[in-house]
Amino acid sequence: MKKFLWLLIAVVAVGLIAGGVFAYSWFSSPEAPTLEISDAWARATAGSDGGEESVTSAIYLTIHNSGRTADKLLTAATDAAKVVQLHDTDTRNDVSMMFLVESVDIPARRDAKFEPGGMHIMLLQLNQSLRPGDTITVTLDFEKSGQRTVIAEVRAP
Ligand SMILES: [Cu+2]
């Protein structure tokens, strides 16, 4: 019986500590969405292999939200392309299909990753060739955080 009591006390203590750590980290983070955009890169349209040049490209990046409130990516724009769309990818029976999405949720205290085979910022009707080492400027418009501008480095796919 005594052993059981100690075990109960230990379990409750561990629960309280874990809860306290969680509450502290939650409430010490900013309430508003706090976005940090990193690893922005765009797929080169012409590789070094001399193959045919692609007429489209995509931008990939990571959006980290350290705030307690979710945000939403509404649109993206860049001078490098006339048409910029938010896309996601669905893979069924080994066939990948990308599709247009209206907006992308940026959950609280999480990362939203745009990466090959997943979400991406699609560039259609390019205004220029994208060569490895080039940089392009991308403006992202968020529901709560407003506009953010990032530089994306062009990389070979
Ligand atoms: Cu796409």
Q: What is the pLDDT of residues 93-114, one digit of tens each?
A: 989 999 999 999 999 999 999 9
Please give the distance, rounded to the nearest whole angstrom, from the Cα atom of residue 98 to the centre of ligand 1.
5
DSSP of the chain: -HHHHHHHHHHHHHHHHHHHHHHHHHHTS-SS--EEEEEEEEE-SS-TT--PPPS-EEEEEEEEE-SSS-EEEEEEEETTEEEEEEEEEEEETTEEEEEE-S-EEE-TTEEEEE-TTS-EEEEEEESS---TT-EEEEEEEETTTEEEEEEEEEE--
Please give the distance, rounded to the nearest whole angstrom, from the Cα atom of residue 89 to the centre of ligand 1.
7
With 80 as the cut, is the pLDDT of residue 132 above it?
yes
Please give the distance, rounded to the nearest whole angstrom, from the Cα atom of residue 42 to the centre of ligand 1.
12
Give first-to-last CA distance, the chain, whole Å.
64
With 90 as the cut, is the pLDDT of residue 53 above it?
no
Q: Supply the pLDDT for residue 120.
A: 98
State which residues have CB under 5 angstroms from ligand 1, the bound ion: 87, 98, 122
Please give the distance, rounded to the nearest whole angstrom, from the Cα atom of residue 97 to the centre of ligand 1.
9
For the stretch 15-52, pLDDT in tens is 999 988 888 887 778 899 999 999 999 999 976 666 77
Give pTM, 2 decimals. 0.83
Q: Supply the pLDDT for residue 49.
A: 64
Confidence of residue 2 (pLDDT cuts 50, 70, 90): confident
Q: Supply the pLDDT for residue 47.
A: 62
Q: Supply the pLDDT for residue 50.
A: 62
Please give the distance, rounded to the nearest whole angstrom, from the Cα atom of residue 76 to the centre of ligand 1.
13
**Mean pLDDT rounded to a whole number for the chain:** 92
